[in-house]
Amino acid sequence: MIKISNALYSEWQASRAAERSIAVRQKPDGHGSRRHHQRLVRPRPKTRYRVAAAVVRLFERPNDKAPYEWASLTRQLLLKAPDPEAVFNEIVDRLHPTSWSGSLTTELEARLTLLDQFDINAVPELAAALDATRRR
């Protein structure tokens, strides 16, 4: 089951509602092409990237003994996001496991090693956020 915070879900819903109301004002008859309809149901990019970071696979383990590795999509989300810091914060929230077997500390430490693998040169504006996360 996919979990999204209530605040993020509310922001996504408000974004969709705002886009629908703008489009209705522009086209009072409410009819349009399929492309026009697709624009109506898509949230704004700032929200869309945060929602994607909250639901897609960001990291994985090739097997139980191997360390975690970032998925290639994680880097793409950060590079293309209009607000990379908001996406980064969603990613950090996802590092905390919602279910596990064995020691929570061991699982959390294994996931936090991903922060050491993070390529800050790709998104330099995240340097402060990464440092703050490491200090927590």
What mean pLDDT do residues 49-68 have? 90
pTM: 0.67
pLDDT at residue 36 in the model: 45
d(CA 96, CA 93): 6
Residue bearing the bigger pLDDT, 41 or 65: 65
Query: Residue 23: pLDDT above 50?
Result: no
Higher pLDDT, 1 or 54: 54
| Residues 64, 66: Cα–Cα separation, whole Å | 6
| DSSP type of residue 125 | G
For residue 89, what pLDDT is reported? 93
DSSP string, 32-71: --HHHHHHHHSPPHHHHHHHHHHHS--EE-SSTTSPPEE-
pLDDT surpasses 50 at 26: no
Q: What is the mean pLDDT of residues 15-34?
A: 50
Whether the Cβ atoms of residue 115 and residue 134 lie closer than 8 Å to each other: yes
Half-sphere exposure of 71 toward its Cβ, with a 13 Å CA cutoff? 12
Summarize the confidence of residues 54-69 as an average pLDDT.
90
36-46 pLDDT tens trace? 444 444 567 78
